[in-house]
Structure 1
Amino acid sequence: MRDLGAGFGYLMKGQRWVARHGKQYGWGLLPGLITLVLYVAALVCLAVWGDDFISWATPFADDWSSPWQGLFRGFLTVVLFALGLLLAVLTFTAVTLLVGQPFYESLSEEVDRSEGDGTVPESGLPLWRDLWISARDSLRILVRAGLWGVLLFACGFLPFVGQTVVPVIGFFVTGFFLTEELTAVALQRREVQLRDRLALLRSRRGLAWGFGAPLAVAFLVPFVAVFLMPGAVAGATLMVRDLEAPPEPQAASDDDRAGESARGAAW
């Protein structure tokens, strides 16, 4: 439970950071706006021509009598749009980060610079190489997220469980992948590979869920994702800074100091 609260705390810290740095916030909005326009256009096309696609994909229902044909194809059209909406939520962050790689890299670097001693971790790779690694890793995450999305969508048809437990699990799964994509901006500059990033987040699932699950819920509201993305990148960078920081040495207890004094006296 402590990690859940800590993860949500990093999300809030990121939003406060961009609120204090208006220039970085303004630049950070551009990738989300571009991606939002593309996704809205795709969903509109799906809503307009989805029934035509279902009719083309189900020729065996052409001879069905009314109302069964309409009910069957109408149900599949709704299912198709719902699946498209779910995939849009799962993939929005990955696509936005890919579109806005230079913007978010700059924002993450500024967080590192302002919160530390002025030094910024760098991968040392050329921009095209960073873009290639980001695209490759994003594709791998999209495949994982897509498989989870299909599985959860199928489980959604289970009575009662599909309407109660599955949506909650879906938000936590989406939140985990959102956290991975957002922390990747800072971790990639630190030369942390995808496998190690996933292992790090799996070891702190509560932290990842606390950070990403509220974002997954918020991203269901139109336009909210665009305005939260810069702060989410800043918060993920703050999280990475704390995760990589060495643990503070603990003060010696009275018993330990007494033992050391006794050993010193014996010598």
Structure 2
Amino acid sequence: MVNNSQTIKKSGVNYFMQGFQLIKQPGLRSFVFIPLMINLVLFAGTIYFAVGKLTELFTWINGQVPDYLGWLNFLLWPLALLTILVVMSFIFSSVMNWIAAPFNGLLAEKVEQHLTGKSLNTGNSVDMVKDLPRIFGREWIKLKYYLPRALLFLVLFWLPIIGQTAAPILWFLFTAWMMAIQYCDYPFDNHKVPFDDMKFALKNTKGSSFSFGATVTVFSMIPIVNFIVMPVAICGATAMWVDKYREAYKNNVIAPD
């Protein structure tokens, strides 16, 4: 069983920040590079397309408004670009988790090997290709868990009083919980731990789980910075797995925070 005196004192925030150090390690940088470049290329391509459409929209608007309102461009363009960046950031955090899922699992494996000095012996690249259906199936399980709950929370925004007070707080907490599930699942899944067992483990260590997920959520809201959130979160989540869950699962004991 994991020694709680060594692990409980480390919060989820600490683990996320540790991820920034781990992605710079020489043996891990190449595994960070692939999902990061996929993210950058797709994001840049989508932004280029969106800005092109936005240019067409503003050209049409300029043809509809009087010349003396031309100054609105200086106000609306920055707002429109910022909106696109923020919206696309949230969309890509979901899309990229699907596209990069195999690479994310591989990164989690290499981080664990770096931290423990022990190989997971998950096979070669051919074995990884054969394992793709199971990997994407796991992402589908997470999506099925997320969607109905997300829709329920979004309905709260339309309720009087609750929508303006409690709903934003509840939505943030739910997002933090999902971020913890999303990124902690990679090291759990590498060890073939069932999804429900992974959720139980995270619920049993709520303090670490929510503080980790909340930190990921905050950094995901920052344009440009959110490019590196995914590999950082995977590294941090794997470090948390090694400290809090790895040995505990060997002994069938998950100690609460």
TM-score range, shorter chain: 0.5 to 0.7
User: In 2, distance between residues paired with 1:32 and 1:17?
Assistant: 19
Q: In the alignment, what sits opposite 1:95? A: 95
- Measure how far apart 1:3 and its partner are: 6.6
| Cross-structure match for 1:255 | none
- The letter of the residue matching 1:106 is L
Change (3 A) 1:14 1:167: same
Q: How does 1:72-91 map to 2 (within 5 A)?
A: 85=87, 89=90
Distance 1:131 1:148, change over 3 A: same
Normalising by structure 2, report the TM-score.
0.68
2:20 aligned with 1:18: no
Contact 1:12–1:235 (Cα < 8 Å) also in 2: yes
Look up the match of 1:244: 246
- What letter matches 1:32 in structure 2? N
Counterpart mapping for 1:116-155 below 5 A: 116-120=116-120, 122=122, 126-155=127-156
Match of 2:204 in 1: 203
Look up the SS of the partner of 2:228 in the other structure.
Answer: helix
Q: CA deviation at 1:13?
A: 0.8
Mapped contact 1:105–1:185 kept (Cα < 8 A): yes
Structure 1 pair 171–92 and aligned structure 2 pair: CA distance change class (3 A): farther
- Residue identity matched to 2:12: G
Match of 1:6 among 2, 6, 11: 11
Distance 1:39 1:138 in 2: 23
- Larger radius of gyration, structure 1 or 2? 1
Shift of 1:6: 0.9
Contact 1:93–1:178 (Cα < 8 Å) also in 2: no
Q: Deviations over 1:218-241 (max 9, x none)?
A: 222333322121111111111111
The residue aligned with 1:259 is none
Matched residues, percent identical?
21
Runs of 4 or more above 4 Å deviation: 2-5, 37-48
> Which residue pairs with 1:31 in the alignment?
38
- In structure 1, the partner of 2:115 is 115
Q: Structure 2 matches for 1:171-250, cutoff 5 A?
A: 171-242=172-243, 243-246=245-248
TM-score by length of 1: 0.65
Q: Which has the higher contact order (CA 8 A, sep 6+)?
A: 2
Name the structure 2 match of 1:263.
none
CA RMSD, Structure 1 to Structure 2 (Å): 3.6
Instruction: Check 1:117–1:179 CA distance in 2 against 1; reply closer, same or farther (3 A cut).
Output: same
Q: CA deviation at 1:140?
A: 2.4
Q: Which amino acid letter does the alignment assign opposite residue 204 of structure 1?
A: T
CA distance in 2, matches of 1:174, 1:109: 25
Whether the 8 Å CA contact 1:123–1:189 is kept in 2: the answer is: no
Q: Which runs of 5+ in 1 are unaligned?
A: 49-80, 248-267
CA distance in 1, matches of 2:171, 2:44: 25
